[in-house]
Amino acid sequence: MTQVRLDGRVALVTGAGNGLGRSYAKAFAARGAKVLVNDLGGLAQGGGRDPSVAQAVVDEIVSAGGQAAANGDSVEDGGKIVQSALDHFGRIDILINNAGVLRDAAFHKMTEDDWNVIHRVHLNGAFQVTRAAWPHMRAQGYGRIVMTASGAGVYGNFGQANYSAAKLGLFGLAQALAIEGRSKNVLVNTIAPVAASRLTQTVLPKEVLAVLKPELVTPLVLLLASETCQDTGQLFEVGGGCVARLRWERSAAVAFDPTTEFTPEQLLEDWSTLQSFEGSDHPATVADSFALIGRHAGVKLQLAPQ
């Protein structure tokens, strides 16, 4: 059996002071990586700062014989975090965008601050850290990035319009970066984990949390962060010992003559066909989307050369 090792690699894990991030950081170090443990040490709802949170994880890693350093910057200051990794270890090979906060509220009660805080931390925070790491990974011809989405982003969830939008945004960011990074061996994948943490303890019952150990998500992250993995642009659900890959599914198209206008009444007549997934396919690129339209319109649609 091939052993997944990370010897000589430098891993940066954001939000690594608790839960999933802590589990990732300790596992990376145990498999040979040098780890920058980033955590602001704030509250689950945002706000506050405690540098001892990241340092405590570093102390655990070092006491077990690993190499790690602590960083207490906010992901909104992503450049500082990446520079800290470079200052301590001289490079950055792995980035796990894991930091997050929650501001749950029904949409009619959601404030603009509730919306903005979630996007600043989850989406803009991941952008800031990734943008700072990106040129270093491209220059060295190696990088592994994991974005943390959520089932709430994939499917939606009551009271989490802000969180759902940001999490699906992270998947979109990952998909674009997967395309741009492949030629430089910078691979980008996304996970939608379910695990016991400060963010889930308020929305999941205790008996469910008991079987959702963060350590049951970590093996997938280890694999995606390793040289062994050569896949990019993929999305995985993971939790409770279960791992599954998700993909888009498209129903068979209802097509009309593109040289004349069609009516909503005509579309209504074929609505049941549109709603059925019999004869579906699984588009994976923008080109696949264009191809469907072009095929029915009798023209060739393609993106401009990059």
Which helix or strand (DSSP H or E) is residue 290 part of? Answer: helix 286-297
CA dist 33 and 55 (Å) reads: 17
Torsion sign, CA atoms 290, 292, 293, 298: positive
Q: Which residues are catalytic?
A: 163
The token pair at 134 is 């990106």
- Quickly tell me which residue has 């991030």 as its tokens: 21
State the Cα angle at 113 between 110 and 118, rounded to 5°: 90
Among residues 107, 75, 104, 96, which one has the least CA distance to residue 20? 96
CA dist 188 and 230 (Å) reads: 10
CA dist 171 and 146 (Å) reads: 10
Identify whether the C-beta of residue 74 lies closer than 8 Å to the C-beta of residue 54: no
Residue type, 228: T
